[in-house]
C-alpha cells in the first residue's frame, strides 16, 4: 500500500522569507505523480504544484518549487518570498498512473508571520 508522510504538523515562516515543507512517500510503482495542495481556512483544496515521477526536472510554479528526490522517495515544497496569503494547511498527495485516486499525507499547517 502506498503511504504519504508529512512529518511536520506545523511550520512558521517570516513574511518574505523561504520555507520548505517535507514529504516522503512509499511506493513500489514506477509510474506515479505527486502533488501539493493548499487548504486555506475557507477549506477549498487548491492545487499548488504537480510532479511526474518520470521527469527528472523539478517542477516550479512562480514562488513555489519542489525538490523531488526519487531514490529517496522525497518530495519537498519550497515557498520563496512567503506572503501572508500563503498561510494554510498544505497536503502532499500521491497517485499512480493506474489507480488514479489520491493518497494524502496528514498535512502541515503553515503560519506566515508579519
- Residue 25 as a binder of other proteins (CB under 8 A): the answer is no
Evaluate whether 103 touches 88 at the Cβ level (below 8 Å). no
Find the shortest distance in angstroms from Cβ 44 to other proteins: 5
- Phi, psi (rounded to 5 degrees) for 85: -70, -10
Question: What cell numbers appear for 26 in the block?
Answer: 512509499
Residue among 3, 15, 47, 63 that touches other proteins (CB under 8 A): 47
Question: What cell numbers appear for 81 in the block?
Answer: 518570498
Which residue stretch of 9-17, 31-39, 61-69, 79-87 sits at the interface with other proteins (rule: CB under 8 A)?
A: 31-39
d(CA 5, CA 92) in angstroms, rounded, equals: 8
Q: Applying CB under 8 A, what is the total number of residues that bind other proteins?
A: 24
Return the number of the residue (52 or 78) whose C-beta is nearest other proteins: 52
- Residue 33 as a binder of other proteins (CB under 8 A): the answer is yes
d(CA 92, CA 103) in angstroms, rounded, equals: 8
- Residue 60 as a binder of other proteins (CB under 8 A): the answer is no
- Residue 35 as a binder of other proteins (CB under 8 A): the answer is yes
Our CA angle for 85, 88, 35, nearest 5°, is 110
- Residue 40 as a binder of other proteins (CB under 8 A): the answer is no
Amino acid at each position: 500500500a502506498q503511504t504519504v508522510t508529512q512529518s511536520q504538523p506545523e511550520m512558521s515562516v517570516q513574511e518574505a522569507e523561504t520555507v520548505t515543507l517535507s514529504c516522503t512517500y512509499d511506493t513500489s510503482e514506477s509510474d506515479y505523480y505527486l502533488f501539493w495542495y493548499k487548504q486555506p481556512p475557507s477549506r477549498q483544496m487548491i492545487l499548488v504544484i504537480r510532479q511526474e515521477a518520470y521527469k527528472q526536472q523539478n517542477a516550479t510554479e512562480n514562488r513555489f518549487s519542489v525538490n523531488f528526490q526519487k531514490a529517496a522517495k522525497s518530495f519537498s515544497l519550497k515557498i520563496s518570498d512567503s506572503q501572508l496569503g500563503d498561510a494554510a494547511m498544505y497536503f502532499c498527495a500521491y497517485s499512480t498512473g493506474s489507480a488514479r485516486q489520491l493518497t494524502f499525507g496528514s498535512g502541515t499547517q503553515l503560519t506566515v508571520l508579519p
